[in-house]
Structure 1
Amino acid sequence: MSDETERTFVMVKPDGVQRGLIGEIVSRLEERGLKMVAGKFMQMSEDLAHEHYGEHEGKPFFEGLVDFITSGPVFAMVWEGQDATRQVRKMMGETDPAESAPGTIRGDFGLDLGRNVIHGSDHEDPGANEREIDLFFDEDELVDYERVDETWLYE
């Protein structure tokens, strides 16, 4: 990984998995030029959900959030690229799908704030990438490699 690239955490939530959107979401991120360096299809435990959403603990929606994210399998991923976190956030759209532009993942597939298909690290929260990646992946699960098209993506 060069100094100019970064890694970011992305997760297809249970509603996205159940609706068969993993492939579509992966394709969109790849077509953008981002590179997947880790992926894991998993059932999130309640303990992991509490840790992942810890900043929301004590808020009225917290237990519902934990119940939802543990209600079915998720697809956790790590993506790499220049300004990857900000790029993924723009591609995802707003947290509330009703506020998301057509062409964004949530704008095209989300209908409800509580069922918004995808999670991505917050680009405004320093350290969110590393914290979330470390929660879901061991260091040896992250793969370093060069895609053949990288010279065509970046100057």
Structure 2
Amino acid sequence: MEKTLVILKPCTIQRGLIGEIISRFERKGLCLAGMKMTWLTDEILSEHYAHLKEKPFFQRIKDAMSVCPVIVCCWEGVDAIHVVRQLAGATNGRNAQPGTIRGDYSMSVQENIVHASDSPETAAIELKRFFNDDEIFNYKMNNLLALYANDEF
């Protein structure tokens, strides 16, 4: 099973959408393997968004992500990275399809509800950035046969 990182951004916490967003991933059939609330430091934000360091909006992103705590989640499932990104929708909420998280809850490219890892390599790096090994749990969901064919997992 593949694991991926999702961050519920400050806009999600401020708007009271935590349960709604988490339930989207649960209803799809993903398994929650880790979750915690944390306040992101400038150091962590600089590391997490290092690929955007030269962009004019770099500081704006860091400022927005430090307004209040965030909730970091580790979700697990077959093709979890792809599934989460499909559920999230296009980065710009104005362009995201209705029915996606961003399409239903976002009007912004920045205040776009969630961050989601974009590849297995990125997911591995990001999960290590936000979770200690003992904060991600491995357990068998009793409903796997209702979610997947027996040769899919």
TM-score range for the pair, normalised by the shorter chain length: over 0.9
Partner residue in 2 for 1:14: 10
Q: Please point out which of 49, 53, 75 is paired with 1:53.
A: 49
Which whole-Å CA distance do the structure 1 matches of 2:70 and 2:107 have between them?
18
Which whole-Å CA distance do the structure 2 matches of 1:151 and 1:138 have between them?
30
Partner residue in 2 for 1:115: 111
Over aligned residue pairs, what C-alpha RMSD do you find? Answer: 0.8
For the residue of structure 2 that corresponds to 1:24, the secondary structure is helix
Quote the offset at 1:152 in angstroms: 1.2
Give the TM-score taking structure 1 as reference length. Answer: 0.94
For the residue of structure 2 that corresponds to 1:134, the secondary structure is helix
For the residue of structure 2 that corresponds to 1:37, the secondary structure is strand
Amino acid at match of 2:55: K
Q: Please point out which of 62, 87, 111 is paired with 1:91.
A: 87
Task: Determine whether 1:68 maps to 2:43.
Answer: no
Query: C-alpha offsets along residues 6-33 of structure 1, whole Å, 9 cap, x if unaligned?
Result: 0000010000111111111111101100
Q: Please point out which of 28, 32, 39 is paired with 1:36.
A: 32
Task: Determine whether 1:132 maps to 2:108.
Answer: no
Quote the offset at 1:83 in angstroms: 0.2
Unaligned runs of 5+ in 2: none
Identity of aligned residues (%): 39
Amino acid at match of 2:128: D
- The number of aligned residues is 149
Which whole-Å CA distance do the structure 1 matches of 2:138 and 2:145 have between them?
16
Quote the offset at 1:42 in angstroms: 1.1
Q: Please point out which of 100, 110, 121 is paired with 1:104.
A: 100
Partner residue in 1 for 2:142: 148
